[in-house]
A and B are shown apart, each in its own frame.
Chain A
């Protein structure tokens, strides 16, 4: 950029021009643009990285939770005809629709695609998987009249509810994964109802994930606050040594730390042995401290503690000791000085630590899987289960999306109450 205004002139329209005859305004804009492009180039790798590894997977997950194209793709003759059929009536579809279905099955047999539709619809109603498999086996031998032929292959084709479910789930998009994730279901004709308690899993789990994460955050805060205070007030030599003690577990493998807790807390473990040895409890009264919620809370509090200590420490380090002395000299008791002066100054650290611990723990997965037992597993364990075992990726995506939504809502609430600018990571 040419900043030497002494060399510049004024052209006929009154604009400043630079030495090479270009109006100064345009020259400045060009220079700014170049600088902006350079800056953009610098952030481009990060931007691309985030796009590829973060946004695209999230968008694809959001999409998977509503995607339902397989039914319409495979049964592409049946589905358009079904739209004219009245699912609220009491009549089975007509021969034309059965014929289309038979054609679709013949094609699906060639492409080996009937199974995936059966699997998909089986999530809606048990029995579809078998129905599609048995029909697929005999697809080539289907002869008109197709209605009788299909009902002969499997009597379920004469069940009007089967057709109602098929019609309901024939669209390209579905909300049924979200319903399942919220412990609700459709009736065959499409009314939504809440599952009874014996079939409700996910809502209680969402609540459990929420309160356990909150409890872990609070416990981390209670434990980390005095440690950080000690670290920030001790002479640098001692505090460095103590800092290593805080960080040492942080550098140890997560699995090792979690397994160490199993050794400590289990029935025949160190703590129980100790309690029995000092006759605090009898040998038959050993405490169950692992493979339940207690195990998850203890192990996760330990695992996540450094995430609370580090931001708190860095904020406390910056609070001048003279503040407290000033408060004392103005007549405040130590307690008042602490509550009125010291604590408000640590709020940015508390905020940063709490949000770190809470958001990490709400999606935590390995530790609960290892020490959580039945009462200590969190929603992410079920997401993993549906991804790798039950293979219901739509439901896994819906659960993940709801979790993401819940975290975002909490983040906004946090921003409204505490203020996100008021946070200091270190």
Chain B
């Protein structure tokens, strides 16, 4: 055993030595892959590598389940990731567990062009001391324009209305968002939704509302499923991330339209793993990649809103399609009439319980 260990050590020492002698330093950046990593590659990685030839950014598309992997790396004392892209809820969890480093926003991040410190520029979106938000995305609905006739859905209540919108709909296979939408569709005012979900009667009411459409729902687990189901005509309306709908509508020109009513905002951003191998280089990179212009640049590639207030006016046209991106942002005033912000505290406490009830409900 000891010998094997020694040999592994020697082997890794040699490989580290090899990397060390190479000119470029490798930064392993973990993200979601697909269109999302492509947008980061275009807006951040490529310009940064062009300006810093001694840095080589390696994309690792394993952000799915990253908290579990990070936890395993910490337990094995072998953290190989430099920077990880996470949704806010996972970042809060990792921060709680001490898997990622806290960040002093005002010293580590660039101020806005007018000198506003980063902590003010990001404002309320700094939901955890470890988390630097990049984008605001929303979970919202898309529907088939040719299948709904002259009566397109306009409100969340229509999703639950089988008479107005007959046919299958797709919803995510977890409690989050669906319970909120069920209560909103049932007439609960938005500011009471979470109070209500904190009680057994409120949860029962949400499930009772979901019961009314249960046999017409296809449950999705991956963000790409609803666009596919819509394109195939398997569902009439379905929820997914707004960026996915943008690409199926504008890039693939499918007969699909957005229904933004009660979209749920969520955040996605960076965390730096504790004991990341190249911390100094990563912090350098982060300072640049999260500045006002860079966040606005990402919106050229994907229709997610930049997390800095100062970036919004800089959002321009799509890099290849040449269309104006502002109207496609979830944060655009026309789209954001009724919105809900993902309630991190509520879900941190209740996610296990309510997902369990949700699963049991699905199986009934």
Contact = CB atoms under 8 A, between A and B. Distances in A.
A391 B348 contact: no
Contact of A391 (B93, B98, B360): B93
Interface string A198-240: 1111001100000000000000000000000000000000000
A114 B95 CA distance: 11
A242 B164 CA distance: 55
A283 interface: no
A119 B362 contact: no
B232 to A, nearest CB: 7
Among B93, B96, B362, the one with the most A-chain Cβ atoms within 10 Å of its Cβ is B96
Given A201-B360, A201-B363, A130 B345 contact: yes
A337 interface: no
Interface in A114-157: 114-116, 118-119, 122-123, 126-130, 133
B124 interface: no
A375 B93 CA distance: 31
Instruction: Please report whether the interface of chain A is mostly helix, strand, loop or mixed according to DSSP.
Output: helix
A46 interface: no
B338 interface: no
Contacts of B17: none
Contacts of B359: 201
B356 interface: yes
Given A197-B364, A198-B357, A199-B357, A115 B95 contact: yes
Given A268-B232, A389-B65, A391-B67, A116 B97 contact: yes
Contact of B352 (A267, A388, A392): A392
Given A113-B98, A200-B360, A201-B356, A391 B349 contact: no
A113 B1 CA distance: 33
Contacts of A336: none
A69 interface: no
A118 B96 contact: yes
Given A115-B97, A129-B349, A387 B364 contact: no
Contacts of B360: 197-201
A189 interface: no
A133 B96 contact: yes
A200 B359 CA distance: 9
Contacts of B68: 387-389, 391
Among B95, B234, B363, the one with the most A-chain Cβ atoms within 10 Å of its Cβ is B363
B154 interface: no
Contact of B355 (A52, A116, A204, A390): A390
A33 interface: no
A198 B352 contact: no
Interface in A390-422: 390-392
Nearest to B221: A369
Interface in B122-142: none
Interface in B30-89: 64-65, 67-68, 71
Contacts of A112: 98
A198 B71 contact: no
Interface string A180-208: 00000000000000000111110011000
Contact of B348 (A123, A130, A268): A130
Interface in B313-353: 345, 348-353
Contacts of B348: 129-130, 133
Nearest to B64: A388
A285 interface: no
Contacts of B234: 267-268
Contacts of A375: 363
Contacts of B364: 197-198
Nearest to B102: A112
Given A197-B364, A387-B68, A391-B67, A126 B356 contact: no
A123 B355 CA distance: 12
Contacts of A204: 363
A374 B362 CA distance: 7
Interface string A228-268: 00000000000000000000000000000000000000011
A282 B95 CA distance: 55
B350 A126 contact: yes
Contact of A123 (B93, B95, B352): B352
B265 interface: no
B288 interface: no
A6 B364 CA distance: 84
A73 to B, nearest CB: 13
A128 B362 CA distance: 26
B353 A126 contact: yes
Contacts of B362: 374
Give 6 nearest A-B pairs by CB, closest first: A115-B96, A388-B65, A112-B98, A130-B349, A126-B353, A388-B68
Interface of A: 48, 52, 111-116, 118-119, 122-123, 126-130, 133, 197-201, 204-205, 267-268, 291, 373-375, 387-392
Given A267-B234, A390-B351, A391-B68, 11 more contacts: A111-B98, A114-B96, A115-B97, A123-B352, A129-B348, A130-B348, A133-B345, A198-B361, A198-B364, A374-B219, A389-B68
Interface of B: 1, 64-65, 67-68, 71, 93, 95-98, 218-219, 232, 234, 345, 348-353, 355-357, 359-364
